[in-house]
Structure 1
Amino acid sequence: MNTLASSSFAPRAGETRRGVGELLREWRLRRRMSQLLLATEAEISTRHLSFVESGRALPSREMVMHLAERLDVPLRERNALLLAAGYAPLYRERTLDDPQLAAAREAVELVLRGHEPYPALAVDRHWNIVATNRALAQLIGDASPALLQAPINALRLSLHPAGIAPRIVNWHAWRAHLLARLQRQIDASADTALVTLHDELAAYPAPPDAAPADLEPIHNLIAVPLRVRTALGELAFYSTTTIFGTPVDITLAELAIEAFFPADLHSASLLRAHASPAP
């Protein structure tokens, strides 16, 4: 497994410190919840919630965590809420090579290795690749060396003109799928780095020989596949995402394994026939 160091938790440079009430209100509005709905779900009075959001009442550490849970705030941002309220952060962020993450790291390695001969990779919250299996080389091997320098961003590698974009048969459909997925992640996390990444990806031009979008049929499909030309021939994949179920570490909470399964028997046969023997 190839492993890259993950970024550490730190306050955003130049960010003005805001009160916990303002931050909670932003998360409530982002989740499209009224004060009444959040107060009902949190089993507190609307008046108390209003006082917290306006800064007239300082919530306890337990109340901050209680509201954050109801608002499904990411762990990294829960730390920010605690800091804004004057409390110490609760969630740690370790690198994947930390001894305390040895069991989780082994689980990632087992999933990636066990998925061969099909491609799989693990990414962080910004889609930077932190681990891969050997089969991924079939997809990214001829990308520009500049895009293969750490940190390698999986979405940039996919849609950049010097990445694998020229080999993606259904580029328009795959691009729309990735951008929509990234937008959902932005809506859920409010991560400004993802907004910047979305803007960058959306500005990439279509490959010169990309088929028109209206010639990429999606009817009768169960999901949008990735159809890509490789040295083995044209391959088609469906992707799945695996995450840790109950993380209390920021690194694990933000780690996702993207596994690609063959979308047809032809792709499966080609990959199995050219699979490298296990080391």
Structure 2
Amino acid sequence: MTQTARHGTDTVGALLHRWRLRRGLTQMDLALRAEVSTRHVSFVETGRSSPTAPMIVTLCEALEVPLRERNTLLLAGGFAPAYREHGLADPPMAAVCDAIAHILKFHEPYPALVVDRGWDLVDANGALTPLLAGVADPSLLEPPVNVLRLSLHPDGLAPRIENLAQWRAHLLRRLGQEIEASADTGLERLRAELRGYPCPGGAGTAAGNGGADAGGAEDGIIVPLRLRTDVGVLSLLSVTTVFGTPLDVTVSELAIESFYPADAETARVFTG
């Protein structure tokens, strides 16, 4: 059977082939993961066989394709999307929003925020606001607030980050990992923008190229955010939380960033 279903200019076979190469897998590797024959994988990729919707989902799961892109593959195969995409204000998202509000509230007095796939701010608790004082460009705080742009822009938080080179390299490496996982062209454009920002301290534009930390490693085992404030330098560790087994595109792309004191003085400031 000849495969004719397309999404844009890409067949489902071409898209699967691209994702397989992106994951660094051979056809045999993918076949073993998906528990199908190598011959079937080959036929799907070349268009000699048209995969069913369940087979597309199986191959996507084996390739760890994000939910949004799984829908793209299903559409390319001539099928309806399998994963819904609700807005946070939609009734089915009430439980998710309640969980987010609970996490943010009970993380106080420490700061926590929620970002979407593009690193735009979705929500935050009250402890975050004092950390944003002194941002020189008010437009950086206008919705949608991009957290990475706000952090690394020379008129944002960057002048107040004591270990800017190290923190910048950390953020760009993480962004690079997300680009590799999602193939998101919007994130690629954001990375290019961030790399163009000046970085006093010697990181230049090399940080975030996927290599060593251009900012240099410290003795600790986790990179802290060291932020100058009116009450002194706060040292914060970040922890990322995502929803397990999401079946909604929006939920799959949310991340909660929670900050914790990295030293006793920072803890005293927040709890004092």
What TM-score, normalized to structure 1? 0.89
Q: Give deviations 1:163-218, integer Å, cap 9, x for gaps.
A: 00000000000000000000000000000000000000010012xxx445699763
SS of corresponding position for 2:226: strand
SS of corresponding position for 1:260: strand
Q: How does 1:120-135 map to 2 (within 5 A)?
A: 120-135=112-127
SS of corresponding position for 2:127: helix
Q: Is 1:47 aligned with 2:39?
A: yes
Pick one of 19, 27, 30 that aligns with 1:27: 19
Q: How does 1:214-233 map to 2 (within 5 A)?
A: 218-233=217-232
Pick one of 10, 15, 24 that aligns with 1:18: 10
Q: Decide whether the 8 Å contact of 1:20 with 1:81 is kept in 2.
A: yes
SS of corresponding position for 1:70: helix
Q: What residue number does 2:191 align with?
A: 198
Residue 180 of structure 1 aligns to which amino acid in structure 2? R
Q: What residue number does 1:243 align with?
A: 242
Q: What residue number does 2:206 align with?
A: none
Looking at both structures, which has the greater relative contact order when contacts are Cα pairs under 8 Å and sequence separation is at least 6? 1
Q: Decide whether the 8 Å contact of 2:110 with 2:259 is kept in 1.
A: yes
Q: What residue number does 1:170 align with?
A: 163
CA distance in 1, matches of 2:53, 2:68: 16
* Alpha-carbon distance change, 92 to 216 in structure 1, aligned in 2, over 3 angstroms: closer
Q: How does 1:107-118 map to 2 (within 5 A)?
A: 107-118=99-110
Q: Identify unmatched segments of 5+ residues in structure 1.
A: 1-14, 274-279
Q: Is 1:252 aligned with 2:245?
A: no
Q: What residue number does 1:157 align with?
A: 150
Q: Is 1:90 aligned with 2:89?
A: no
* Alpha-carbon distance change, 86 to 138 in structure 1, aligned in 2, over 3 angstroms: same
How far 1:46 sits from its partner (Å)? 0.9
SS of corresponding position for 1:221: coil
- Figure out how many residues of one structure are paired with residues of the other and give that number: 256
Q: Decide whether the 8 Å contact of 2:67 with 2:252 is kept in 1.
A: yes
What TM-score, normalized to structure 2? 0.91
SS of corresponding position for 1:134: coil
Q: Give deviations 1:40-75, integer Å, cap 9, x for gaps.
A: 121111111101000111001110001001001000
SS of corresponding position for 1:135: coil
Residue 187 of structure 2 aligns to which amino acid in structure 1? L
CA distance in 1, matches of 2:201, 2:66: 39
CA distance in 2, matches of 1:211, 1:40: 47
CA distance in 2, matches of 1:217, 1:61: 47
Residue 21 of structure 1 aligns to which amino acid in structure 2? G
How far 1:16 sits from its partner (Å)? 3.4
Q: Give deviations 1:85-133, integer Å, cap 9, x for gaps.
A: 0000011111111111111101001111111111110000000000000
Residue 153 of structure 2 aligns to which amino acid in structure 1? H
Q: How does 1:180-199 map to 2 (within 5 A)?
A: 180-199=173-192
Residue 64 of structure 2 aligns to which amino acid in structure 1? D
SS of corresponding position for 1:32: coil
Residue 74 of structure 1 aligns to which amino acid in structure 2? P
Name the Cα RMSD after superposition: 1.6
Q: Is 1:272 aligned with 2:271?
A: yes
